[in-house]
Amino acid sequence: MDLYLFDFDKTLYAYDFRKRLPALSRLSGVSEYHLAKTWWAGGYEVRAELGEWKTAEDYLDVFAEVTGARLTLDQWCEARHEASTPNAGVIEALRRTSGLGEVSLFSNNPPPFVATLSRMAPDVAQILGPNVLVSCQIGIRKPSPDAYRAALAHYRAGAEDTFFVDDSAANIEGARSIGITAFHYTADTDVPALNVAIDAFARRNGSPK
């Protein structure tokens, strides 16, 4: 069975950090500057995306220690939700693709993202079911070729039978470097081309699926 991997941020959902940071500041009472300087510039978010802290609770505890901002999981989700807007065309492509093979999310994100996806993006979560694969779960971030190898191993799929959608050119090249068919999504205007690429991939062996 073919495997279709979809990125989340700036692909299935638009994402704007410039909205997320003010929301986190409002909810925590800690300045945007301090949050950005301590957590993001300090490299903690990348470490979280690599799975250094295994649970959402662990993440929030370290976030509080580093920034002084004590957040609940609901507050983290609220701030993330304020920064995220569904890309309807890509979500519809995901829905349609779920009838062509196995679909999965494949995203660089920390444990709270996994814990709150069904609340933050219920439309996507409903289509995906249990097929959510995030960097913090495998300990590798895109665009490392090993991240894609881990995804293939997880789903027992071959690179030649896998289609990947992402907004990042580096992530696209990482996928292509191991033989995965990849589509670079950059804007809503790419949705028709995305659907054409999905159909071409599904028919690549000479018969429609």
Res. 19 pLDDT band, cuts 50 70 90: very high
Counting residues of the chain whose pLDDT is more than 90, the rounded percentage is 97
CATH topology of domain 3-14+86-202: Rossmann fold (3.40.50)
* Burial (0-12, 13-18, 19+ Cβ within 10 Å), 107: buried
Q: What is the rounded (10 degree) CA torsion for 127, 131, 136, 139?
A: -150
Query: Which CA distances in Å does 27 have to 6, 63, 70?
Result: 30, 14, 9
Q: Mean pLDDT, to the nearest integer, of 16-31? A: 97
Q: Mean pLDDT, to the nearest integer, of 34-59? A: 98
Q: Which residues contact 44 (CB under 8 A, 6 or more apart)?
A: 38, 62, 63, 66
Residue 33: both structure tokens together: 């500057």
pLDDT at 205: 77
pLDDT at 197: 98
pTM of the predicted structure, to 2 decimals: 0.96
For 133-178, how does the pLDDT look when each residue is reduced to its tens digit (9 = 90+)? 999 999 999 999 999 999 999 999 999 999 999 999 999 999 999 9
Q: Where are the domains of the chain?
A: 3-14+86-202, 17-82
CATH topology of domain 17-82: DNA polymerase; domain 1 (1.10.150)
